Amino acid sequence: MDKHIKKVNESQVQMIELVLPNDTNTLGNLLGGRLMHWIDIAAALAAARHCNNVAVTAAVDNLAFHKPIKLGEIVRLKASVNRTFKSSMEVGVRVEVEDIKTGEIFHSNSAYLTFVNIDSETRRPVHVPEIIPESDFEKRRYEDALKRREQRLREIKGIITE
């Protein structure tokens, strides 16, 4: 396949983290900042795998905490490039939590991040390889990513013109 075109599964990342005491607040819940850090790392790895280069975080969409993640639970972060643009890409991260005692798994969070492919010498944005969605699920995420991008650009334009 052309090196400027990649399939979604070529850059997917799955990270596993165990919530340890140093990761929690005084209630024994995972710190929100620690989860955001893990989300950013998973997304950065997927972006870097996609473009075979350094990619930097440009934006993080809304992140809501639906259910506390407790000390001792297993956190699974699944990151995937949803869509690419000229020098940027949207990466989706799904956070799932497993109760180690019961084996119950629940969806805790989802986040969408925008990454920019950066030339490490010039530190300027460079072209991102095209992504080809194959499954119906990947195609839906691909289309939804364009809608989110258009919304982000409308919001930025609104801020600039105010």
Q: Which CATH superfamily is domain 5-161 in?
A: Hotdog Thioesterase (3.10.129.10)
pTM over 0.85: yes
User: b/e map of 122-147 (b: 16 or more CB within 10 Å)?
Assistant: eeebbebbebbbeeeebeebbeebee
pLDDT greater than 80 at residue 3: no
- Closest-CA residue to 112 (of 145, 147, 137): 145
Break the chain into its structural domains and give their ranges: 5-161
Q: Report in angstroms the alpha-carbon separations of 152 from 73, 104, 110, 149.
A: 34, 35, 17, 5
For 74-125, how does the pLDDT look when each residue is reduced to its tens digit (9 = 90+)?
999 999 999 999 999 999 999 999 998 999 999 999 999 999 999 989 999 9
pLDDT 10s digits, 20-55: 999 999 999 999 999 999 999 999 999 999 999 999
For 112, phi then psi, to 5°, come to: -120, 130
